C-alpha cells in the first residue's frame, strides 16, 4: 500500500470507478482485489505527479495572493512630511 490513506468510502468509490472503466471502455472485467492493487499503484507511482503539480499550483496562487496583500499593505502606509 502507498502512504496515501483514503477513507474506506473513497477507496470503495474509486475501486468501483476502475471496475466500471474496465468494463465499459476496455470490455474487460477486473475484480475488486485487482482494482485495489491498480489503485494503489496509481496512488504511489503516478499520484506523485498530480500531487507535485497541485503543490506548484497552490504555491503560485499563494504567491499571487501574498503579492496582492503586500501591495494592499503598501497602500495603507502613512507617509511623514519627510517622505514627500
**Residues 27, 67 contacting (CB under 8 angstroms):** no
CA distance 4 to 18: 18
Q: How do residues 15-43 score in pLDDT, each as one tens digit? A: 999 999 999 999 999 999 999 999 999 99
Residue at 19 is within a domain:
yes
Residue at 64 is within a domain:
yes
Rounded mean pLDDT, 43-61: 94
Residue at 21 is within a domain:
yes
Q: Average pLDDT of the chain?
A: 91
Which pLDDT does position 75 carry in this prediction? 87
Rounded mean pLDDT, 56-64: 97
Residue at 26 is within a domain:
yes
In sequence order, what E strands does the chain have? none
pTM listed for this prediction: 0.68
Which pLDDT does position 84 carry in this prediction? 59
Residue at 81 is within a domain:
no
Domain count, the chain: 1
**Cβ neighbours for 78, distance < 8 A, ≥ 6 positions apart:** none
Amino acid at each position: 500500500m502507498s502512504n496515501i490513506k483514503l477513507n474506506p468510502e473513497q477507496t470503495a468509490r474509486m475501486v468501483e470507478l476502475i471496475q466500471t472503466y474496465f468494463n465499459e471502455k476496455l470490455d474487460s472485467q477486473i475484480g475488486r482485489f485487482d482494482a485495489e492493487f491498480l489503485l494503489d499503484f496509481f496512488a504511489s507511482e503516478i499520484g506523485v505527479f498530480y500531487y507535485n503539480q497541485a503543490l506548484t499550483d497552490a504555491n503560485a496562487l499563494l504567491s499571487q495572493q501574498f503579492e496582492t496583500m503586500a501591495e494592499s499593505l503598501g497602500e495603507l502606509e502613512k507617509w511623514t512630511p519627510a517622505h514627500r
